Structure 1
Amino acid sequence: MPGRQLSVVVTRRLPEAVETRMKELFNVTLREDDTQMTADELVDAMGKADVLVSTITDQIDAKLLGRAGERLKLIANYGAGVDNIDVETARQRGILVSNTPGVVTEDTADMVMALILAVTRRMAEGLRVAQSDHWAGWSPTAMMGGRIKGRRLGILGMGRIGQAVARRAAVFGMQVHYHNRRRLRPEIEEELDATYWESLDQMVARVDVLSINCPHTPSTFHLLNARRLKLMKPSAVIVNTSRGEVIDENALTRMLRAGEIAGAGLDVFERGAQINPRLKELPNAILLPHMGSATLEGRIEMGEKVILNIQTFADGHRPPDQVVPAML
């Protein structure tokens, strides 16, 4: 829309540097607090905006888009995942969708390794012991965890983040295995020294650590269901920094309680912030509040990508990170 300043509405608080830059470039309405918008607030925002800057907490489905009116022309999602947006319906209504791919890769991969170490070395349990009044000091047999060198790491989803995890894991001496919708090119597979498994069942049964790095789609919902989780070794651990819906959380909780899986490190949950209370009680589960990509550097880079997408659109061109249904 060259020739006039775009009206932009932002649904959540963003880093100060990002908000300041947006105010310089656009006619922007910022969120005064960091609460999630209600459906009615989202409809109101879409009705008065050329561009909506949404986040993964904003569920923009077909019903909501049907109430959007005619003004909205771009949903610039602040995040790489767009499973919160009905991209097909948006396209049918002439609304473009963009995202921020690639920005969270390194930060999320760091968190995967942090969780692998934290679970296998029982760091959360050790923290509780050290902070209690009952620690009597070092003992040769106390708080024994496991060594990760030599262990088999299974990566479910070998995109940007999965490959970044593979590179880190190799430095720690882990053996890298993976299952992906498409097999990697031979030269990438060789570079990562990664073994491909066409059968997810067979890979799950053989790895010592399983890292979930695939998106949430209809085909990945409960991909790790009770049947598949039961294939894992009792000594294995599972780490999820991707989407909570990929794992059947109730089944995982039951197996962790029964000792059928040794441990879990979870940064995402099936029902968002509504974590299974029984899961919270488990000493062998480390739970984080969706902070895998939460670095200041990463959040600012995400904002810069959002601004670039909006500015390119304002200049009459296709946003560089436009998402189309065929990509999903």
Structure 2
Amino acid sequence: MLDDRAKLLLKALVERYIAEGQPVGSRTLSRASGLELSAATIRNVMADLEDLGLIASPHTSAGRVPTARGYRLFVDTMLTAQRDQILATPSLVADQPQKVITNAAQLLSNLSHFVGVVMAPKRSSVFRHIEFLRLSEKRFLVIIVTPDGDVQNRVVFTAQDYTQGQLIEAANFLNANYAGMAIEQVRERLKAEVESLRSEIATLMQTAVDASSEAMSEQDEVVISGERNLLQVQDFSSDMSHLRRAFDLFEQKTQLMRLLDISSQAAGVRIFIGGESQVVPFEELSIVSAPYEVDGQVVGTVGVIGPTRMPYDRMIQIVDITSKLVSNALSHNRGGS
């Protein structure tokens, strides 16, 4: 347990390091903390904090920097996130859920000046309406509308040519008999009923439904915005290996998906500090995340990825407010469709 004096000095050290990115010496810490303590007393407290693994002394400097454990203590017990409204926050109202997700990632990036990430909700495989549009010989467009208003498009190439009249006939049949069913169910039903349908129309519908199934299963599970912002962060721009590892994380997305999935299982804002666990494998990165809901059910996660040396109080506000905006926008969209 830390006494009040040690807590205050650790808080001052973390805040100073976040602001300036330089190891903090005892004289600087004395001014930043506002405590009337001798340099020797502050050095003794810093030595205690170092023994506890909360701060570390880089070889090149007499000052100290916070460790992942020090950041964690700062975040968990000292940080009071003031719920001030973030001014000029744009609304996330959009006519399609995917636009809300994309806009949210951009909003997180713009407000934080770091990287915004959103784990998209799994799209419904149920279709409300389907249309086919002839583009050219042996090529047509499938347009699928889901119950929540999401629209998927897919270009289909066929072995034989179909007229627009045949495409309309096939779409009308699917809408009349299968609307409201999941695409996989439609595929199974079509296989059973293929004998009773005209062969060319049956083949057309099976081809279109297969394409629809592919279109609806293809989705950006994680939407990322603002990767280039890391180029402006000294912690990354000064070390290309740090930058490369961060971009590998964005490229592969698997670790990111696992992390965001863990975040969605907890209420409220969660903070993952680099080096604490295998979930965030890079000491240079931290992630602030929060789940969002649709009609009261958690369906995804929003977050900000940035350097370990980030202003956590502001990031918590940004992520918390954005998660509420996404929840409201998606629940509103679903309710209005």
Q: What range describes the TM-score normalised by the shorter chain of this pair?
A: under 0.3
- In terms of fraction of residues, the more helix-rich structure is 2
Q: Which structure carries more strand by proportion?
A: 2
Normalised to the residue count of structure 1, the TM-score between the two structures is 0.24
Q: TM-score, normalised by structure 2?
A: 0.23
